[in-house]
Amino acid sequence: MLNAEQSIIREVEQAISLGSAEKSLETVRRVTSLFLASAGNFSSEQIELFDRVLERLIKTIEIRAIAEVSARVALVETSLQLAGVAQAPPTVIRRLARNDSIMVAGPVLSESSRLSTEDLVEIAGTKSEQHLLAISGRWWLTEIVTDALLARQYPAVSRRLVKNPGARVSASGFAIVVSQAESDPELAVEAGIRVDLPPELRDQLLRNATETVRSRLLSRAPSHLFEEIRNSIARVSASVDREMGARDFTAARQFVEILNASGKLGEAALFAFARARKYEETVAALAVLSNSSIEVIRPLMQSLRDDGVLVPCKAAGLSWETTSAILGCRYSTGSMGPRELAKANNQFTRMTTESAQRLLRFWQVRSAPRNPN
């Protein structure tokens, strides 16, 4: 190989000394082809030699002929040829990756294993959106790199990253994504089905999401995440839509009182309210039918626990069909999972009407305003 090495060096020196872009382009192609022919058999010293000579040639091309189409084509060819080679000359790869042209930089940014974490972080912080998109598609990315990519806050980059199963994202990185997702439905759906999205950030994402996004997210959810996402939707719906003071029960209370006075308030009316997810009317009707008050029923409906709501339902002598509708009425979208519903049914069946009425009376007394005298 010694004679070949000397021949390569002489040819490179000649190409550079002549100052000819055409000669440099021809030599780049020859040296690259020679390297690729036996890349897997070269020693580290031989790879270092190719690294030095190719880097010098590419630098010469960039300085002398970067505006020429032929020079650009040669660099793109070199990038494409070396991108997937594990033994590719590292200095050459780093130089190609930093080229301002995405046509040149793209192949190695997307694929080359010769680029270090430090290389990728630097490029993510300084180069164009297209360069960041190329990095975002790599088969494996650490949190350090994705943090650097997300810090630039390009929506297209964020979308590509969350779609990439090999991209690990930190909690701070996901926080950026969730913030962007408020105005980006596609990003919201893609981020929401990530198994590594922290639960509190999934709740935040869903809290700010539209009903359309929530529905799409449920339809896209993988089987192992479906229950978790549905429960998250239920939680945020309960905390946002059923917040104390967030609802005005005045009209619902008056309407239910009119129904009750006319003899039209019964389980059928309550069931209709619950099935239609008329939350205020459901609370007001359940309060009347269980001989309780809205002040007692409302916090039970707000709670993430299911057993509290079962008490007024049992005290009112309701069927399980109506009770399950009331449980579902607590959420503006989604519903309870089969296991949670079965558990609630079992609790409801074992509960006696007498014990439910005693407990409800206790809660009623406790919720009544105390006389300071």
Domain that holds residue 12: 1-112
Which of 57, 92, 112 delimits the end of a domain?
112
The tally of domains found in the chain comes to 2
Helices (H) and strands (E) counted in the chain, each on its own, are 23, 0
Domain membership of residue 159 (yes or no) is no
The answer to whether position 372 is within a domain reads: no
> To which H or E segment does residue 161 belong?
helix 155-163
From first to last of its 373 residues, the chain has per-residue pLDDT tens of 445 555 555 555 555 555 556 666 777 777 787 777 767 777 788 888 788 878 877 777 765 554 465 667 778 888 989 999 988 999 999 999 999 999 999 999 999 999 999 999 999 999 999 999 999 999 999 999 999 999 999 999 999 999 999 999 999 999 999 999 988 889 999 999 999 999 889 988 988 787 778 888 888 888 888 888 888 877 776 665 544 445 678 899 999 999 999 999 999 999 999 999 898 999 999 999 999 999 899 888 877 567 889 999 999 999 999 999 999 887 665 566 677 788 889 999 999 999 999 999 988 887 665 554 4
Distance of CA 152 to the CA centre of its chain: 17
Tokens 């880097």, residue located: 55
Query: What DSSP character marks residue 262?
Result: T
State which of 83, 112, 141 marks the end of a domain.
Answer: 112
Q: How far apart are CA 358 and CA 147, in angstroms?
A: 56
The CA distance from 282 to 289, in Å, is 10
How far apart, in Å, are the Cα atoms of 253 and each of 74, 260, 295, 318? 78, 10, 12, 20
CA max distance for the chain: 108
Q: Is the dihedral of CA 200, 201, 205, 206 positive or negative?
A: negative
> Would you say residue 292 lies in a domain?
yes
Instruction: Answer with the one of 97, 112, 127 that is the final residue of a domain.
Output: 112
Domain assignment present for residue 80? The answer is yes
**Is 193 a member of any domain?**
no
**Domain assignment present for 211:** no
Distance CA 89, CA 35 (A): 9
